[in-house]
Amino acid sequence: MNIIGDAKAVRSYDAIVIGSGISGGWAAKELCEKGLKTLVLERGRDVRHIVDYPSATLNPWDFPHRNRMPDAFDQENPIATKCYALDEGTKQYFVKDAEHPYVQEKPFDWIRGYQVGGKSLIWARQTQRWSRFDFEANARDGIAVDWPIRYEDIAPWYSHVEKFVGISGNKDGLETLPDGEFLKPWELNCLEKHIQKRVAESYRDRHVIIGRCAHLTEPQQIHYDQGRAQCQARHLCYRGCPYGGYFSSNSSTLPWAAKTGNLTLRPFSVVHSIIYDDAKGKATGVRVVDTNTKQMTEYYARVIFVNAACLNTNLILLNSTSKRFPNGLGNDSGLLGHYVAFHNYRGSLNATYDGFPDGYFYGRRPTTAFMPNFRNVQKQEMDFQRGYMVAFSASRSGWQRGAGTEGFGAEFKDKLSDPGGWHVYMMMQGETIPKYDNHVRLSKDQKDSWGIPQLVTSVGYDDNDVKSMKDFLEQGADMLEKAGCKTISPYDDHRNPGLDIHEMGGVRMGRDPKTSLLNGHNQLHLVKNVFVTDGAAMTSTGTQNPSITFMALTARAADYAVSELKKKNL
């Protein structure tokens, strides 16, 4: 008995964080800074900043296939290969299709990154705050359930996160997209400024701004303290940035947590389930399967943060059954896994522009022009619910694309030095409405390599999504036409849900345990020492890129959890 007790003590911590990505890294940083001995569990391999970015400084000709994926890879990975960020230089950061199978009841492209840092190494780095309209919309429009928080609750935590991360942006003074703590913004190019001007002249409710992104344009002392440096505008971000010019868990939050001496990082740790003690009425730890040996070990803690990324967080909680919770941890309502939503990226437009023959631009800017949502903001006014954010960029064909241009000799060099004509690409990021039928659940008969039930995805579009997309295509064409663009081509790519990589919900926040899983502090209503602060916690999706909201919610929840521990309420 003493041996068992000693072994348990060795595997006991103040806190356990499941997942090391964007939200997990923030949980680790905040909990470690506040003095908690914290174990971070990551199912994939370790990736150390700088030393484990093998392709970060390679030239196109250094790759066997000039940075293109061979046909054999595409055929073996029909899901992963759809991701825009996957190529020969980044393939090591993506889960191959056969490595972690799941059951698609409806087509769903699940893009995953299993390594220390998770998808924070390969995210698109766009960061927009939610506005008061986003937190109030559910109650106003009767969608899902009311958010248990408002903008004022999270605003100081946005600021807390932004200062540490380093966000490039302009203070635009828009109620629909609140300003934050910004570094110097990137600049729109001449054609984008022209479109910005024409849109402002033509519409009172539409505002074109430069994108806000997690890139260090002018590092502050807090960023130098992290060992990070200025963004070099290389646009090789998905390979891992050796400069730390963009934010990732690897370059920022995890090293910061490690400096406290309170962090224990355990890679190759697949979390099977959370342990619930019926007698104590709380969670006491987690069961972990070693990724390689398949051996199971239990780890124990006073508080647990689940940050495995939306769908895996749902999977873990669904698999965490006990006598008290036979249908999943905290799931008396039966809603766990339901109301999964995502962003609608189906609509896009291409156009050309005759003009600005002497207009050029420098470097490979890591963001685009954005337009905050202008549909159904103050009230319901369309034949569809909610709206969409617009992103667009203008560039000159042929120029800056030497890596993919065929040719040789003098003619090839001349081709590379000719900027060519202007081209505009415009896309939507649409809000989808959380619905009960859009859900994930555990397979009853299929398991993965670690003995865990496979996840069944049953998530799809509805008529509202199609109406929203059609409106975007019409309005996008109208805006481009008013800006003087030509050969405007709208396109519905019919992509599957999931390829947006913005899945949210399933463990939603709310005010009532009968209609939600989490309270206003991201705490399970029925298991007070378990917190969920990744995409699974979202009650609706908004139209903004969600990562900065995940980070802010995590920092806020960690602060609350530590205060509750001190009060001995957990």
**Average confidence (pLDDT) over 411-435:** 89
Residue 250 neighbours by CB distance under 10 Å: 26
Burial 104-137 (b: 16+ CB within 10 A, else e): beeebbbbbbbbbbbbbbbbbbbbbbbbebbbeb
E strand spans, 354-462 = 369-371, 388-396, 422-431, 439-447, 453-458
- Average pLDDT score over residue span 358-369: 90
Which ranges constitute the DSSP H helices of 19-70?
A: 22-33
439 bridge partner residues:
338, 458
Domains of the chain plus CATH, in order, are: 3-169+211-345+436-456+502-567 (3.50.50.60), 182-200+346-385+387-432+461-496 (no CATH)
> In angstroms, what is the C-alpha Rg of the chain?
23
Please give the average per-residue pLDDT across 307-336, as a whole number: 98
For 274-300, the three-class secondary structure string (H helix, E strand, C coil) is EEEECCCCEEEEEEEEECCCCCEEEEE
Buried b (16+ CB within 10 A) or exposed e, 273-295: bbbbeeeeebbbbbbbbebeeee
Q: CB of 556 within 8 A of CB of 521?
A: yes
- Encode pLDDT of 10-46 as tens digits: 899 999 999 999 999 999 999 999 999 999 999 999 9
CB 8 within 8 A of CB 143: no
pLDDT digits (tens, 9 = 90+) for 473-512: 999 999 999 999 999 999 999 999 999 999 999 999 999 9
**Residue 258 one-letter amino acid:** A
pLDDT at 1: 34
**CA–CA separation, 565 vs 570, rounded Å?**
5
DSSP H helices, 129-225, are 132-141, 151-165, 190-202, 221-225
Name the token pair of 315: 């999977």
**Residue 362 pLDDT grade (very low, low, confident, very high; cuts 50, 70, 90):** confident
In SS3 terms, 530-567 reads as EEECCHHHCCCCCCCCCHHHHHHHHHHHHHHHHHHHHC
User: DSSP secondary-structure letter at 69?
Assistant: P
Confidence (pTM): 0.96
Which has the closest alpha carbon to 126: 550, 555, 558, 563?
A: 550
**3 confidence band (pLDDT: 50, 70, 90):** very low
The overall average pLDDT reported for the chain is 96
User: Cβ distance 120 to 85 under 8 Å?
Assistant: no
Partners of 352 in beta bridges: 423, 486
The whole-number average pLDDT for the span 261-270 is 98
Structural tokens at position 131: 């506005």
Measured distance CA(516)–CA(332) in Å, rounded: 10
CB 461 within 8 A of CB 442: no
> What single-letter amino acid sits at 320?
S
Other Cβ atoms closer than 10 A to 562: 20
> DSSP letter at 39?
E
**Burial level of 391, CB count in 10 A (0-12/13-18/19+)?**
buried
List Cβ neighbours of 293 (8 Å cut-off, separation of 6 or more). none
Separation CA 362–CA 370 (nearest Å): 19
The strand pair at 347-353 and 282-290 is best described as unpaired
User: Which are the contacts of 139, defined by CB distance < 8 A and separation ≥ 6?
Assistant: 146, 147
Average pLDDT over residues 439-448: 98
Q: Strand 338-341 relative to strand 504-506: parallel, antiparallel, unpaired?
A: antiparallel
% pLDDT > 70, the chain: 97
Phi (first) and psi of residue 165, to 5 degrees? -70, -45
State the residue for tokens 């629909």: 176
Closest CA to 270 of 297, 237, 301: 297
Q: Find the mean pLDDT for residues 93-112.
A: 97
The tokens describing 394, both together, are 């203008």
Q: Are 570 and 529 in contact (CB under 8 A)?
A: yes
CB crowding 182-208: b at 16 or more within 10 Å, else e: bbebbebbebbbbbbebbeeebeebbb
- Sequence length of the chain is 570
Say if strands 343-344 and 422-431 run parallel, antiparallel, or are unpaired: antiparallel
pLDDT tens sequence across 136-164: 999 999 999 999 999 999 999 999 999 99
Residue 402 confidence (pLDDT) above 60: no
What pLDDT sits at residue 2? 38
> For tokens 């923030």, what's the residue?
26
The predicted-structure confidence for 55-89, as pLDDT tens digits, reads as follows 999 999 999 999 999 999 999 999 999 999 999 99
Residue 420 contacts residue 396 (beta carbons within 8 Å): yes
**Long-range contacts of 394-401, Cβ-Cβ distance < 8 Å, separation of 24 or more:** 394/189, 394/191, 394/192, 394/195, 394/353, 394/369, 394/422, 394/423, 394/424, 395/189, 395/361, 395/422, 395/423, 395/425, 396/360, 396/420, 396/421, 396/422, 396/423, 397/421, 397/422, 397/423, 400/364
> Residue 392's closest CA among 371, 422, 413?
371
Closest among 109, 84, 80 to 95, alpha carbons compared: 80
Half-sphere exposure of 215 (CA within 13 A, CB side): 26
* pLDDT higher than threshold 70 for residue 135: yes
